[in-house]
Structure 1
Amino acid sequence: MSYNLLAGKKGIIFGALNEQSIAWRVAERAVEEGAEIILTNTAVAVRMGQLNELGEKLGAKVVPADATKEEELEVVFQEAIKTFGKVDFVLHSIGMSPNVRKGRSYDDLDYKMLQTTLDISAVSFHKMLQVAKRLDAIAEGGSVVALTYIAAQRTFVGYGDMADAKSLLESIARSFGYIYGREKGVRINTVSQSPTVTTAGSGVKGMSDLLDFAEDLSPLGNADANDCADYCITLFSDLTRKITMQNLFNDGGFSSMGMSLDAIEVFSKGRDAHK
């Protein structure tokens, strides 16, 4: 169902790769709600993924760009300005850890790969915001959302250095949110999503078990990619004009739970089986 929440608005979606991507669903929902968008990902991702197909489906331009490179980010925002004028919303859905992909434990990190993790998953967010502000590419009252995960606050086995990256990402949202809000009225928030099966998430060790654990612990169950897209749409809309610098949990209540009855029963059965 469409509520026309983004009627007349223009936006940029960073990070859609294929139908598993949360950014893919955000893009679809944004257009359903009346927005016009530009899609962007790295040139390799555009070639190897299905972004061009999504662009054709949504009538959206696809602009290849590496978000870790300021000059390529400038191309994206300049293209948006040329096409739309200033944009009203931006989604940052970018994250990757070579250490996690290669199974390196947190106490045995390759530091060059750690730098890559931080640059892609967090510093790219600062670069994106800095380029957008320098070009004055986001309209007054605009909204920027980045996707994160609760491992920024709590330890989850297998999430490795991505937890550090998400912590930095959330800090950037607060620090830049103050400046961008004060000077341009632009809101910046992060959405902490339930564990979700995506191309990036599938590289996390024990993802299937983590999904099951979160599902059992959360009173409303896990939020899926569609739920996340709906939440992002509300944050892009004028209904959330005074929300900024926040880390907002979209996780079925997981972040507020200590222990659930289902989880206790599973734990007890496992403990009893090992006695």
Structure 2
Amino acid sequence: MSENAHYGLLKGKKGIVFGPLDESSIGWQIAVHAHREGASIAISNVAAAMRFGNTDELSALCGNAPVIVCDASKNEDVDSCFGELKEKLGKIDFIVHSIGMSQNIRKQLPYEELNYEWFMRTLDVSGLSLHRLVSYALKNDVLNDGASVLALSYIASQRNYWTYSDMGDAKSLLESIVRSYGPRLARRGIRINTISQSPTYTKAGSGIPGFEKMFEYSDLMSPLGNASAVECAEYAMTILSDLSRKVTMQNLFHDGGYSSMGATIPMIKLAHEVLNDKELAERVGLEDFKPAK
């Protein structure tokens, strides 16, 4: 989809995007694309992100979209947010959850030595907040029948990615909440899904130790290569639109085919070279990760 090619997929719809920070963030791109597809949107983030991000710029790009300060880990904030949203936009047709944070990753604590207070904070902000958003949206009667709820996940919810640490647990919780809420929302035709995106150079993603290596590996392992934030936003438009009205409780992989691959020829060749180059194998610490016998 080029910058000038839009399809009116969200014409007449209203929604809110939680968590956009700057142009690199997927939430930012989803907000911009939703506006281009005809939606009226609101933007929400915590106060600190409002200060350090470019929220005012995003608001202007989205037709002077209302900006609502909200900490999605606090009941009173979320309740107030949806009350304000209903006053400003009326009832809405979609919610986008683009929220994630781990102090353990930020401080580079190994998984075996997690700070448990920070761990609980990771689970609350990155996972449980989705339950809170949906629950308070229902309590405030802000969701239209047939609405779409979408959250952003990562394949580390299902497979181990060493440096993704407690965020992998948070994404598992996020996807479980989607499955648990799915049948309950379906009675009103509301669907809820996650998109499992490729590694993406966002502020949050880039803070993961060794992220550039994860990115390069994923790109080599994906038949179509890594998906960008813009491409994720384009895909998200179909999930927010009526074109996906029978899609719910799904974790939708948007990763260039990575999630279905065993190995690619380039990766097999690289592994072969490393295994047969003792100096290189030692330099990358291969012996440290060999299974015990």
Normalising by structure 1, we get a TM-score of: 0.98
CA–CA distance in structure 2, aligned partners of residues 97 and 61 of structure 1: 28
Q: In structure 2, what residue type is equivalent to 1:140?
A: D
Correspondence for 2:272 among 248, 254, 268: 268
Residue 114 (structure 1) shift: 0.3
CA–CA distance in structure 2, aligned partners of residues 148 and 19 of structure 1: 19
Which 5+ residue runs of structure 1 have no aligned equivalent? none
Residue 72 (structure 1) shift: 1.1
Match of 1:13 in 2: 17
CA–CA distance in structure 2, aligned partners of residues 28 and 106 of structure 1: 36
Residue 53 (structure 1) shift: 1.3
- Residues 104-115 of structure 1: pairs in structure 2 closer than 5 A: 104-115=109-120
Residue 266 (structure 1) shift: 1.1
Contact 1:99 1:113 in 2 (8 A): yes
Residue 84 (structure 1) shift: 2.2
Match of 1:201 in 2: 205
- Residues 1-275 of structure 1: pairs in structure 2 closer than 5 A: 1-58=5-62, 59-182=64-187, 184-274=188-278
CA–CA distance in structure 1, aligned partners of residues 65 and 109 of structure 2: 38
Contact 2:66 2:88 in 1 (8 A): no
Residue 185 (structure 1) shift: 1.7
Residue 271 (structure 1) shift: 1.6
Residue 75 (structure 1) shift: 2.1
Q: Which moved more, 1:69-78 or 1:195-204?
A: 69-78
Contact 2:11 2:37 in 1 (8 A): yes
Q: In structure 2, what residue type is equivalent to 1:130?
A: S
Q: In structure 1, what residue type is equivalent to 2:136?
A: V
SS state at 2:172 partner: helix
Q: In structure 2, what residue type is equivalent to 1:133?
A: L
Match of 2:286 in 1: none
CA–CA distance in structure 2, aligned partners of residues 45 and 38 of structure 1: 15
Contact 1:177 1:244 in 2 (8 A): yes
Q: Which has the larger radius of gyration?
A: 2
Residue 76 (structure 1) shift: 1.9
Residue 241 (structure 1) shift: 0.4
CA–CA distance in structure 2, aligned partners of residues 75 and 19 of structure 1: 27
Contact 1:133 1:180 in 2 (8 A): no
Count of paired positions: 274
Q: In structure 1, what residue type is equivalent to 2:126?
A: S
Q: In structure 1, what residue type is equivalent to 2:274?
A: G
SS state at 2:17 partner: strand
Which 5+ residue runs of structure 2 have no aligned equivalent? 280-293
Residue 52 (structure 1) shift: 1.2
CA–CA distance in structure 2, aligned partners of residues 63 and 128 of structure 1: 14
CA–CA distance in structure 2, aligned partners of residues 223 and 22 of structure 1: 11
CA–CA distance in structure 1, aligned partners of residues 239 and 81 of structure 2: 22
Cα RMSD, aligned residues only:
0.9
Q: In structure 2, what residue type is equivalent to 1:143?
A: S
CA–CA distance in structure 2, aligned partners of residues 14 and 34 of structure 1: 18
CA–CA distance in structure 2, aligned partners of residues 216 and 230 of structure 1: 23
